Amino acid sequence: MVALDALVDLLSEHGRALALGSRDSVVARALRERGVAVEAVDGDWPSIQLSTRYPLVIVDLSPPTPDAAAILHCAVQHVEPGGDVVMTGEPGCDAVRRFELREVSRLAVDGHDVVRFRRSDRRTIHDVVFAARSRIARVAALGLSDRLRDADPPTVIDTRTPTDRSRFGVIAGSIHVPRTVVEWHLDPANGYRHPAVVAFDQPLVLVCNGGYSSSLAAASLLDLGFSDVGDLVGGIRAWLGAGLEVVEPDHSHLDL
């Protein structure tokens, strides 16, 4: 265990970490014993979109799981540029290469490889999305459901394709403005503003499939002068996962 102790000594310098896949992995347990604050999360991996990132993310892939790629995506999304991702078990070389992770060290513990990777410090799409989310007012599915029952509910803008809207249903009362034309159909300077959007201070909540492209679209609307813009955390996946109702789409792809 000398090698593991040495690794944990290095990782302890981060001070805090995120654990995915198992709250009780050997690395997470050892870090907690050193006083490191380790937050553990689990669930529908594409819908896990935390408001903070970490210098260290611990991933437990032992035993192997078919969710490995989704868990790794969640890890890379939440690790800071140049941060560490430590994995017990591996998803495979192709997955590691795809997420721009560089192997730093490797050791065997209890029959499993414990591999320390370093995330690229290149500005990736994860960094762009995180920057966008720091500017907007995100809302969880149950929170949006509550707000839609208020006397003055926000306008929900569904940015998904007609195909996805037909497959998964839509939030009742939402309007359809595809992501490709969000800026065009909401900015009055274009001359084709959507009739449901009437003011720059109107509360708007954008919805997509998983809560990623909606974050970018919401931040883009802030750049155009809208002041009360957010998106649905986890997108329609999270809405359905919370057991909330949807209805059949009843309008065209432009809703004009």
Whether the predicted pLDDT of 252 surpasses 70: no
Q: What is the pLDDT of residue 256?
A: 52
Q: In terms of C-beta density within 10 A (0-12 exposed, 13-18 middle, 19 or more buried), how is residue 193 classed?
A: middle
- Please report the DSSP string for the chain in residue order: -HHHHHHHHHHHTT-EEEEES-TT-HHHHHHHHTT-EEEEE-S-GGG---S--EEEEEEE--S--TTHHHHHHHHHHHEEEEEEEEEES-S-HHHHHHTTEEEEEEEEETTEEEEEEEE--S--HHHHHHHHHTTS--B-HHHHHHHTTSSSPPEEEE-S-HHHHHHH-B-TT-EE--GGGHHHHH-GGGS---TT---TTS-EEEE-SSSSHHHHHHHHHHHTT--SEEEBTTHHHHHHHTT---B---S-SS--
Q: What is the pLDDT of residue 148?
A: 97
- Weakest-pLDDT range from 37-46, 88-97, 235-244: 88-97
- Give me the mean pLDDT over the 105-129 stretch: 90
Whether the predicted pLDDT of 45 surpasses 90: no
Q: What is the pLDDT of residue 251?
A: 61
- Give me the mean pLDDT over the 28-54 stretch: 91
Average pLDDT in the chain? 91
- Please report the DSSP string for 177-211 in residue order: --GGGHHHHH-GGGS---TT---TTS-EEEE-SSS
Distance CA 64, CA 99 (A): 18
- Weakest-pLDDT range from 60-64, 74-78, 223-227: 60-64
Q: What is the pLDDT of residue 44?
A: 83
Q: What is the pLDDT of residue 31?
A: 94
Lookup: tokens for 6 = 């040495």
- Weakest-pLDDT range from 32-36, 137-141, 190-194, 246-250: 190-194
Residue 42: pLDDT band with limits 50, 70, 90 = confident
Amino acid (one-letter) located at 154: P
Q: What is the pLDDT of residue 109?
A: 83
Residue-wise pLDDT for 207-249, tens only, equals: 999 999 999 999 999 999 999 999 999 999 999 999 999 999 9
> Would the pTM of this model clear 0.85, i.e. be above it?
yes
Residue-wise pLDDT for 2-31, tens only, equals: 688 899 999 999 999 999 977 678 899 999
Whether the predicted pLDDT of 254 surpasses 70: no
- Coil, helix or strand for 160? coil
- Give me the mean pLDDT over the 202-210 stretch: 97
Whether the predicted pLDDT of 123 surpasses 80: yes
Residue-wise pLDDT for 144-161, tens only, equals: 999 999 999 999 999 999
Percentage of the chain lying above the pLDDT 90 cut: 74
Q: What is the pLDDT of residue 96?
A: 72
Whether the predicted pLDDT of 93 surpasses 60: no
